[in-house]
Amino acid sequence: MYQRILVPVDGSETSKRALQTAVALAAEESAKLHVVHVCEERPVYVSMDTLPYPPADLREALHKEGEQVLAEAIASASEGSVKADGKLLVLDRADQRISDAVEQEAEAWRADLIVVGTHGRRGFRRLLLGSVAEHLIRIATRPVLLIRGG
């Protein structure tokens, strides 16, 4: 049914659960699995005196962390007998959203399913924090499978 499954990961337990589900589906369907991690490089308006290291070093650290999250996710997929590829998506403008980046990648990669974890926030916390998963299901042009955190 699904031949191209995309799963965004951030290293959280919730995204690991989403990855496990995506791996199981990919194995069952003999589907391709595409793992993405969104690296946010948005401008931060703080005094340079408050940064622990220069912005270029911060950018490098964010990329390194993102690549590590991807490597762990791909290794996890391999343990589930699924071959996966990965891609680091970079947001470098304040007007960009994680959900938009995921949808654009799903479109470009021609995914026919997105599997994403949700933290299940409710009420005022959801209102304040928003939700990547919630925005994604509003804009997605393909099915989205939500995996609730534990």
Q: What is the DSSP string of the chain?
A: --SEEEEE--SSHHHHHHHHHHHHHHHHHT-EEEEEEEEE-----S-GGG-SS-HHHHHHHHHHHHHHHHHHHHHHHHHTT--EEEEEEEE-STT--HHHHHHHHHHHHT-SEEEEEE----HHHHHHH--HHHHHHHH-SS-EEEEE--
| Predicted confidence (pLDDT) per residue in 81-128, tens digit | 999 999 999 998 888 899 999 999 999 999 999 999 987 555 544 444
| Predicted confidence (pLDDT) per residue in 11-48, tens digit | 999 999 999 999 999 999 999 999 999 998 765 555 55
For the chain, domains (ranges, CATH) are 4-148 (3.40.50.620)
